[in-house]
Amino acid sequence: MYGPQMSLAARLESYKIAVENGDNLDDFSHSEIKRMRKALRKEADRSNKYKNISGPQRKNLLKVQERLREVVGLPVDKAEIEENWDQFPEEACQTILEKLDVQYRHNTLQDSHGPESGFEQLNSVLTRATKYQEKFIPQEVSLLHKVWWICKGDFSDVAVLDIGGGNACMCLFASMILDCYSVCIDYVCPPEELCGELYLSEEDRERLFKRITCDVRDVDFESLFEVLHARGKKRIVILAKHLCGCGTDLALTFAKEFQQYCSRKGFF
Protein backbone atom coordinates (compact mmCIF):
# COMPACT_ATOMS: atom_id res chain seq x y z
CA MET A 1 0.00 0.00 0.00
CA TYR A 2 1.91 3.00 -1.29
CA GLY A 3 0.60 6.41 -2.23
CA PRO A 4 -1.54 8.71 -0.16
CA GLN A 5 -1.79 6.05 2.58
CA MET A 6 1.95 5.69 3.12
CA SER A 7 4.52 8.50 3.26
CA LEU A 8 7.91 8.21 1.62
CA ALA A 9 9.54 8.09 5.07
CA ALA A 10 7.30 5.20 6.12
CA ARG A 11 8.01 3.42 2.86
CA LEU A 12 11.74 3.87 3.40
CA GLU A 13 11.36 2.47 6.91
CA SER A 14 9.65 -0.69 5.59
CA TYR A 15 12.36 -1.00 2.94
CA LYS A 16 15.06 -0.82 5.64
CA ILE A 17 13.30 -3.46 7.75
CA ALA A 18 12.88 -5.74 4.74
CA VAL A 19 16.59 -5.42 3.89
CA GLU A 20 17.66 -5.97 7.50
CA ASN A 21 15.49 -9.06 7.81
CA GLY A 22 16.64 -10.40 4.45
CA ASP A 23 12.98 -10.44 3.23
CA ASN A 24 12.32 -10.49 -0.47
CA LEU A 25 11.69 -7.10 -2.00
CA ASP A 26 8.87 -8.10 -4.35
CA ASP A 27 6.72 -5.45 -2.79
CA PHE A 28 9.08 -2.77 -4.20
CA SER A 29 9.37 -1.94 -7.88
CA HIS A 30 12.80 -1.78 -9.52
CA SER A 31 12.74 2.01 -9.76
CA GLU A 32 11.53 2.28 -6.20
CA ILE A 33 14.44 0.16 -4.95
CA LYS A 34 16.81 2.53 -6.79
CA ARG A 35 15.17 5.49 -5.07
CA MET A 36 15.33 3.80 -1.67
CA ARG A 37 19.03 2.99 -2.07
CA LYS A 38 19.75 6.57 -3.04
CA ALA A 39 17.78 7.86 -0.04
CA LEU A 40 19.67 5.50 2.28
CA ARG A 41 23.03 6.61 0.88
CA LYS A 42 22.04 10.25 1.45
CA GLU A 43 20.92 9.43 4.99
CA ALA A 44 24.24 7.69 5.76
CA ASP A 45 26.25 10.62 4.33
CA ARG A 46 24.27 13.07 6.42
CA SER A 47 24.67 11.07 9.59
CA ASN A 48 28.44 10.64 8.95
CA LYS A 49 28.86 14.34 8.34
CA TYR A 50 26.81 15.30 11.38
CA LYS A 51 28.17 12.54 13.64
CA ASN A 52 24.73 11.01 14.19
CA ILE A 53 23.39 14.22 15.70
CA SER A 54 19.68 14.46 14.98
CA GLY A 55 18.18 17.29 12.90
CA PRO A 56 16.50 19.14 15.81
CA GLN A 57 19.65 18.88 17.97
CA ARG A 58 21.78 20.23 15.15
CA LYS A 59 19.38 23.10 14.66
CA ASN A 60 19.85 24.04 18.34
CA LEU A 61 23.59 23.73 17.99
CA LEU A 62 23.60 26.06 14.98
CA LYS A 63 21.54 28.56 16.96
CA VAL A 64 24.13 28.40 19.78
CA GLN A 65 26.90 28.92 17.23
CA GLU A 66 25.06 31.95 15.88
CA ARG A 67 24.44 33.47 19.34
CA LEU A 68 28.03 32.86 20.37
CA ARG A 69 29.26 34.94 17.45
CA GLU A 70 26.67 37.66 18.11
CA VAL A 71 27.60 37.90 21.81
CA VAL A 72 31.29 38.41 21.14
CA GLY A 73 30.74 40.61 18.08
CA LEU A 74 31.98 38.21 15.38
CA PRO A 75 30.30 38.26 11.94
CA VAL A 76 27.43 35.78 11.63
CA ASP A 77 27.97 33.99 8.33
CA LYS A 78 25.52 31.10 7.92
CA ALA A 79 27.73 29.29 5.39
CA GLU A 80 30.73 29.50 7.71
CA ILE A 81 28.63 28.27 10.66
CA GLU A 82 27.29 25.37 8.58
CA GLU A 83 30.88 24.45 7.66
CA ASN A 84 32.13 24.65 11.26
CA TRP A 85 29.00 23.41 13.01
CA ASP A 86 30.98 21.22 15.43
CA GLN A 87 33.78 23.65 16.29
CA PHE A 88 33.31 26.77 18.33
CA PRO A 89 35.48 29.65 17.09
CA GLU A 90 38.60 29.89 19.24
CA GLU A 91 38.43 33.69 19.36
CA ALA A 92 34.88 33.62 20.76
CA CYS A 93 35.73 30.89 23.28
CA GLN A 94 38.76 32.86 24.45
CA THR A 95 36.72 36.03 24.95
CA ILE A 96 34.10 34.18 26.97
CA LEU A 97 36.67 32.33 29.09
CA GLU A 98 38.32 35.65 29.92
CA LYS A 99 35.00 37.30 30.76
CA LEU A 100 34.01 34.40 33.04
CA ASP A 101 37.51 34.22 34.46
CA VAL A 102 37.73 30.48 33.74
CA GLN A 103 41.16 29.10 34.55
CA TYR A 104 40.78 25.47 33.52
CA ARG A 105 38.97 24.32 30.40
CA HIS A 106 37.28 20.93 30.42
CA ASN A 107 39.75 19.58 27.89
CA THR A 108 42.71 20.50 30.09
CA LEU A 109 41.60 17.89 32.65
CA GLN A 110 43.45 14.65 32.31
CA ASP A 111 41.44 11.51 31.59
CA SER A 112 41.48 8.87 34.28
CA HIS A 113 39.86 5.47 34.03
CA GLY A 114 39.26 2.98 36.81
CA PRO A 115 39.19 -0.80 36.60
CA GLU A 116 36.02 -2.29 35.12
CA SER A 117 35.56 -4.50 38.18
CA GLY A 118 34.55 -1.32 40.05
CA PHE A 119 31.05 -1.53 38.57
CA GLU A 120 30.40 -4.95 40.01
CA GLN A 121 31.98 -4.11 43.33
CA LEU A 122 29.98 -0.95 43.87
CA ASN A 123 26.85 -2.69 42.63
CA SER A 124 27.18 -5.20 45.45
CA VAL A 125 27.46 -2.53 48.15
CA LEU A 126 23.99 -1.04 48.03
CA THR A 127 20.53 -2.43 47.32
CA ARG A 128 18.67 -0.09 45.00
CA ALA A 129 16.04 -0.67 42.33
CA THR A 130 17.73 -2.00 39.18
CA LYS A 131 16.90 1.09 37.13
CA TYR A 132 18.69 3.29 39.70
CA GLN A 133 21.66 0.94 39.91
CA GLU A 134 22.00 0.99 36.12
CA LYS A 135 21.78 4.76 36.00
CA PHE A 136 23.92 5.68 39.00
CA ILE A 137 26.63 3.03 39.33
CA PRO A 138 28.65 4.11 36.25
CA GLN A 139 28.50 7.76 37.39
CA GLU A 140 29.46 6.90 40.95
CA VAL A 141 32.31 4.57 39.98
CA SER A 142 33.66 7.15 37.58
CA LEU A 143 33.52 9.97 40.13
CA LEU A 144 35.02 7.85 42.90
CA HIS A 145 37.88 6.95 40.65
CA LYS A 146 38.45 10.60 39.76
CA VAL A 147 38.44 11.60 43.43
CA TRP A 148 40.93 8.83 44.13
CA TRP A 149 43.10 9.99 41.25
CA ILE A 150 42.98 13.69 42.18
CA CYS A 151 43.96 12.87 45.78
CA LYS A 152 46.62 10.41 44.64
CA GLY A 153 45.18 7.76 46.96
CA ASP A 154 45.84 9.68 50.21
CA PHE A 155 42.65 10.75 51.97
CA SER A 156 43.91 11.59 55.43
CA ASP A 157 43.28 15.33 54.99
CA VAL A 158 40.56 15.16 52.31
CA ALA A 159 36.92 16.17 52.55
CA VAL A 160 34.47 15.62 49.72
CA LEU A 161 31.72 18.23 49.42
CA ASP A 162 28.79 17.00 47.38
CA ILE A 163 26.65 19.92 46.30
CA GLY A 164 23.05 18.97 45.56
CA GLY A 165 23.97 15.60 47.04
CA GLY A 166 20.29 14.61 47.69
CA ASN A 167 20.22 11.25 49.45
CA ALA A 168 24.01 11.49 49.99
CA CYS A 169 24.75 8.12 48.34
CA MET A 170 27.59 9.59 46.29
CA CYS A 171 29.48 11.24 49.12
CA LEU A 172 28.84 8.36 51.51
CA PHE A 173 30.39 6.03 48.96
CA ALA A 174 33.41 8.35 48.98
CA SER A 175 33.51 8.37 52.79
CA MET A 176 33.18 4.63 53.21
CA ILE A 177 35.28 3.45 50.31
CA LEU A 178 38.03 6.07 50.37
CA ASP A 179 37.81 6.69 54.11
CA CYS A 180 37.46 10.44 53.83
CA TYR A 181 35.13 12.95 55.45
CA SER A 182 32.18 14.10 53.38
CA VAL A 183 29.64 16.89 53.46
CA CYS A 184 26.34 16.78 51.59
CA ILE A 185 24.91 20.20 50.79
CA ASP A 186 21.36 20.27 49.50
CA TYR A 187 18.50 22.65 50.00
CA VAL A 188 16.16 19.72 50.39
CA CYS A 189 16.58 17.09 53.09
CA PRO A 190 14.96 13.91 51.75
CA PRO A 191 12.53 11.84 53.86
CA GLU A 192 14.32 9.82 56.54
CA GLU A 193 14.26 6.52 54.66
CA LEU A 194 16.11 8.19 51.76
CA CYS A 195 18.80 9.84 53.87
CA GLY A 196 21.77 7.55 53.23
CA GLU A 197 23.57 8.67 56.38
CA LEU A 198 20.85 7.26 58.63
CA TYR A 199 21.94 3.77 57.60
CA LEU A 200 25.35 4.36 59.21
CA SER A 201 26.01 3.81 62.90
CA GLU A 202 25.93 7.03 64.90
CA GLU A 203 29.65 6.74 65.47
CA ASP A 204 30.49 6.38 61.76
CA ARG A 205 28.08 9.16 60.89
CA GLU A 206 29.80 11.54 63.29
CA ARG A 207 33.25 10.49 62.09
CA LEU A 208 32.56 10.51 58.35
CA PHE A 209 29.70 12.78 57.43
CA LYS A 210 27.82 16.05 57.74
CA ARG A 211 24.61 17.18 56.07
CA ILE A 212 24.02 20.89 55.49
CA THR A 213 20.48 21.69 54.43
CA CYS A 214 20.55 25.01 52.63
CA ASP A 215 20.85 26.60 49.22
CA VAL A 216 24.45 26.44 48.02
CA ARG A 217 24.25 30.25 47.70
CA ASP A 218 23.70 30.57 51.43
CA VAL A 219 26.32 28.22 52.85
CA ASP A 220 27.88 29.74 55.95
CA PHE A 221 31.58 29.64 55.00
CA GLU A 222 32.75 30.22 58.54
CA SER A 223 30.97 27.23 60.07
CA LEU A 224 31.82 24.98 57.11
CA PHE A 225 35.45 26.01 57.41
CA GLU A 226 35.39 25.28 61.17
CA VAL A 227 33.93 21.80 60.61
CA LEU A 228 36.68 20.95 58.11
CA HIS A 229 39.46 22.66 60.02
CA ALA A 230 38.54 20.92 63.28
CA ARG A 231 38.97 17.57 61.51
CA GLY A 232 42.27 18.50 59.94
CA LYS A 233 40.84 18.54 56.40
CA LYS A 234 42.94 20.66 54.10
CA ARG A 235 42.14 19.34 50.65
CA ILE A 236 38.58 19.70 49.46
CA VAL A 237 37.12 17.91 46.45
CA ILE A 238 33.83 19.37 45.31
CA LEU A 239 31.29 17.25 43.46
CA ALA A 240 28.16 18.59 41.81
CA LYS A 241 26.39 15.81 40.00
CA HIS A 242 23.31 16.45 37.91
CA LEU A 243 22.16 19.71 39.37
CA CYS A 244 19.05 21.18 37.89
CA GLY A 245 18.61 24.66 36.42
CA CYS A 246 21.46 26.98 37.32
CA GLY A 247 22.67 24.63 40.11
CA THR A 248 25.98 23.89 38.37
CA ASP A 249 26.76 27.59 37.92
CA LEU A 250 25.96 28.19 41.59
CA ALA A 251 28.19 25.26 42.57
CA LEU A 252 31.06 26.73 40.52
CA THR A 253 30.59 30.11 42.19
CA PHE A 254 30.52 28.40 45.59
CA ALA A 255 33.75 26.52 44.78
CA LYS A 256 35.53 29.68 43.72
CA GLU A 257 34.36 31.78 46.67
CA PHE A 258 34.95 29.09 49.27
CA GLN A 259 38.46 28.57 47.95
CA GLN A 260 39.11 32.31 48.24
CA TYR A 261 37.68 32.30 51.77
CA CYS A 262 39.93 29.40 52.77
CA SER A 263 43.02 31.06 51.28
CA ARG A 264 42.26 34.25 53.20
CA LYS A 265 42.24 32.08 56.32
CA GLY A 266 45.68 30.85 55.28
CA PHE A 267 44.44 27.40 54.28
CA PHE A 268 44.18 25.24 51.17
Ligand X SMILES: C[S@@+](CC[C@H](N)C(=O)[O-])C[C@H]1O[C@@H](n2cnc3c(N)ncnc32)[C@H](O)[C@@H]1O
Binding site for ligand X (CB under 6 A): 164-166, 185-188, 215-216, 241-244, 247, 250
Q: Which is nearer to ligand X, 86 or 134 (CB)?
A: 134
Q: Which is nearer to ligand X, 140 or 148 (CB)?
A: 140
Q: Which is nearer to ligand X, 95 or 142 (CB)?
A: 142
Minimum distance from CB of 184 to ligand X (Å)?
9
Minimum distance from CB of 161 to ligand X (Å)?
11
Q: Which is nearer to ligand X, 138 or 232 (CB)?
A: 138
Q: Which is nearer to ligand X, 22 or 245 (CB)?
A: 245
- Within 8 A by CB and 6+ apart from 11, the residues are 2, 32, 36
DSSP H or E segment with residue 44: helix 30-49
Minimum distance from CB of 193 to ligand X (Å)?
16
Nearest residue to 242 (alpha-carbon basis) of 169, 192, 183, 179: 169
- Within 8 A by CB and 6+ apart from 227, the residues are 183, 210
Edge-to-edge order in the sheet of strand 181-186: 209-213, 181-186, 158-163, 235-239
Minimum distance from CB of 244 to ligand X (Å)?
5
Minimum distance from CB of 243 to ligand X (Å)?
5
Strand-strand pairing, 181-186 and 209-213 = parallel
Distance CA 16, CA 1 (A): 16
The total number of residues shown for the chain amounts to 268
Minimum distance from CB of 84 to ligand X (Å)?
33
Q: Which is nearer to ligand X, 170 or 180 (CB)?
A: 170
| Closest CB to ligand X: residue number | 164
Q: Which is nearer to ligand X, 118 or 166 (CB)?
A: 166
Nearest residue to 236 (alpha-carbon basis) of 155, 153, 144: 155
- 3 state DSSP class of 239: strand
Distance CA 185, CA 255 (A): 12
Q: Which is nearer to ligand X, 93 or 243 (CB)?
A: 243
Nearest residue to 103 (alpha-carbon basis) of 260, 208, 216, 226: 260
Minimum distance from CB of 219 to ligand X (Å)?
9
Distances (CA, A) of 91 to 58, 69, 73, 158, 258: 22, 9, 10, 38, 30
Minimum distance from CB of 175 to ligand X (Å)?
15
